[in-house]
């Protein structure tokens, strides 16, 4: 069932109005006291210290590095950038917190996007699929450098999932790509379900340290892969059904320059169903 109420703590009146509009669509009442969900601007995050339930942080104008530091220092699991997709991103977040289906690209590619699903059992198949995804990204107008970094991250996530499946004799993993006008999304799915928020958060921080130390971008490291995804993507979503399956979703907003990507804040979420 959906969250019973939401507490909103924001400084910007316009942002507050946009959040109220989302809550109205989601039919979630706004309360002044403690709510089932707290939605807070990143500058007022200390005011959410007593929150009894999930905390969604609205992040604006800080850039990727500052956003990463905020996520790491606060162990944040839900972060929504204040941009032109605020309403859509927040509605998606609230829907998943409501207990609805966690998995699938349809929440991120809504408007008739075409889905390509690939079963990937080994490195040979992985290379072929990544080549197809890279070609599609370029046809959609994704800048070459961003496409290359995106593929490096998908490569690392896929090879780790493949190795886990081989050890458990589970057959191929699944890679799904979908596009709509202005967006391109890829999901890597396994049937293990071992990933945890603390693993991802730790990997984001350690991956950054490894990059600064000179590790090659194509190094076989899941830690570095998560950091590349965070540095590259418009949205990074982790969905885990514990002991059953994991889905890593990366979304790129097409048409942005490398400079625009560096200056923007990515959406971030990590949902775990025990």
Please state the three-class secondary structure of 153-169 as a single string: HHHHHHHHHHHHHHHHC
- pLDDT above 60 for 33: yes
Global pTM? Answer: 0.89
In this model, does residue 40 exceed pLDDT 60?
yes
The answer on pLDDT for 214 being more than 60 is no
Give the CA-trace dihedral at 249, 250, 251, 255, to 10 degrees.
-160
Q: What is the layout of strands, in order, in the sheet containing 183-190?
A: 30-31, 6-9, 37-41, 55-59, 78-81, 267-273, 235-241, 245-253, 183-190, 173-180, 114-120
Predicted pLDDT at 145 = 85
The class (CATH top level) of 114-273 is alpha beta
pLDDT band at 220 (very low <50, low <70, confident <90, very high): very low
- Do 173 and 158 meet the contact criterion of CB atoms below 8 Å apart? yes
Quick one: angle between helices 197-212 and 63-74, nearest 10? Answer: 140
Q: What is the mean pLDDT of residues 41-64?
A: 90
114-123 b/e (C-beta count within 10 Å ≥ 16 → b): eeeebebeee
* Domain definitions of the chain by residue range: 6-97, 114-273
CATH number of 6-97: 3.40.50.261
Using the predicted structure, report yes or no on whether residue 77 has a pLDDT greater than 60.
yes
Q: Which segments of 154-234 are extended strands (E)? A: 173-180, 183-190
The proportion of the chain whose per-residue pLDDT surpasses 90, expressed as a percent, equals 49
Task: Give me the phi and psi of 53, to 5 degrees please.
Answer: -130, -155
């Amino acid at each position: 069932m959906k969250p019973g109420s939401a507490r909103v703590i924001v400084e910007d009146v316009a942002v507050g109005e946009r959040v109220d509009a989302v809550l109205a669509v989601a039919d979630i009442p706004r309360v002044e006291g403690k709510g089932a969900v707290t939605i807070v601007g990143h500058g007022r995050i200390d005011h959410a210290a007593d929150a009894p339930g999930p905390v969604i942080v609205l992040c604006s104008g800080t850039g990727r590095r500052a956003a990463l530091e905020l996520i790491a220092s606060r162990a944040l699991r839900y972060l929504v950038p204040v941009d032109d997709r605020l309403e859509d991103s927040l509605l998606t977040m609230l829907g998943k917190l409501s207990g609805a289906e966690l998995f699938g690209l349809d929440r991120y590619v809504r408007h008739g996007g075409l889905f390509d699903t690939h079963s990937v059992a080994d490195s040979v198949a992985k290379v072929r699929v990544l080549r197809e995804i890279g070609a599609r990204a370029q046809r959609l107008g994704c800048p070459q450098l961003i496409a290359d970094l995106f593929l490096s991250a998908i490569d690392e996530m896929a090879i780790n999932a493949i190795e886990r499946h081989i050890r458990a004799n589970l057959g191929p993993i699944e890679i799904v790509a979908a596009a709509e006008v202005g967006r391109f999304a890829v999901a890597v799915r396994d049937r293990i379900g071992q990933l945890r928020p603390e693993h991802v958060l730790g990997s984001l921080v350690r991956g950054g340290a490894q990059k600064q130390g000179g590790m090659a971008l194509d190094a076989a490291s899941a830690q570095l892969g998560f950091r590349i995804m965070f540095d590259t993507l418009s949205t990074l979503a982790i969905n885990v059904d514990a002991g059953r399956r994991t889905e890593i979703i990366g979304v790129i907003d097409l048409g942005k320059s490398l400079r625009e990507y560096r200056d923007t804040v990515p959406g971030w979420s990590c949902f775990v169903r025990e």
